[in-house]
Amino acid sequence: MHFHTTGYIHSSALVQRAGRFVDFFFVLSGFVISHAYRQLLQNGGGWSFLTKRVGRLWPLHLVTLAITVLMATGGSLLGLTVQGFVYSAIPANITMTHSWGFLDRLTWNGPSWSISTEMFAYILFAILCWLRSIWLDVACAMILVGSLLLLTFVAPDFDSTYDFGVARCLVGFMAGVLANRLWELTQFRPKSEILALILTGAVVTILPERLVGLVVPLFAWTVLVFASEAGFISLFLKTRIPQLLGRISYSIYMTHYIVGLTIITGLTLFTGLVQEVEGTATVVTAWPLADALSLVYLGMVVAASCLTYAWIEVPGRHWFNRRADRIPAAW
């Protein structure tokens, strides 16, 4: 989606609207965090939880931020500029607060806006877990409804990022938390992974913009379907390649913009394939070459992500986890 070409891959409806899968990430995150950490948080393990969450997100985020700053410095020497490279926004990016509504645009590694909002959701959920039993569920439901009302009546649209991204994240995250409660407290076990996959792809592709918020309950249902891990698709997802892609998925998300920008910059400097289309640098060429470049781009993203996972994610996570384990639970 972020590698703009005139090929069929980029122009397809599913790819054009793939940004809606960020909301799937929010729902899945809420489900998994609630399942793994709710009891720990209610037993006073808030600082340990947040330390581990910082260790999961911040090291790679900091490295990709540094890379984009270096790219901005080098690009300026060549006369190249990117609208999102705003030096005054560096402190907010370092602290992962750059999508808490303080800035007026996406900055630096643009896709990291969702990581910023995730950190807000982690902090809020840790605080909410001081509540007990049903009161925590009520609070999560109220935040979901309040955030949805904010997106509906105040935000420019549901697909908000740097401005109302926190509200968008909380709608999905709290939906995931409540879906997990439904999973744990009842025998509700929806089936049919194939139907869930077809509906998810179809709704993301054809749902009108004014109804885009409906993807959240659909995604919650899809997460509940796959939580059973009982279908043929789940069996496939347990094989080697899907498992690898799952492990490096955070690296894929955090490096894909940088890899794409690097390729676009190279094509701009050394070929005549890149033109500005509706304000965006786009590879304009015959579709076979455009789609071939998209596939090369995907391969480079996966290769780069394997390296950042091994060299940055894993060591960074272990460093923070060791320190989190030293924090008494009562803290």
Helices and strands per DSSP (H, E), number in the chain: 15, 2
**In contact, 141 and 182? CB cutoff 8 Å:** no
Q: What residue type is 321 in one-letter code?
A: N
pTM of the model: 0.92
pLDDT beyond 70 at 329: no
pLDDT tens track for 50-63: 999 999 999 999 99
Computed from CA positions of residues 268, 272, 278, 282, in that sequence, does the dihedral angle turn out positive or negative? negative
SS3 assignment, position 278: coil
pLDDT tens track for 68-94: 999 888 877 777 777 788 899 999 999
pLDDT score at 212: 86
pLDDT beyond 90 at 250: yes
pLDDT score at 211: 84
**In contact, 51 and 58? CB cutoff 8 Å:** no
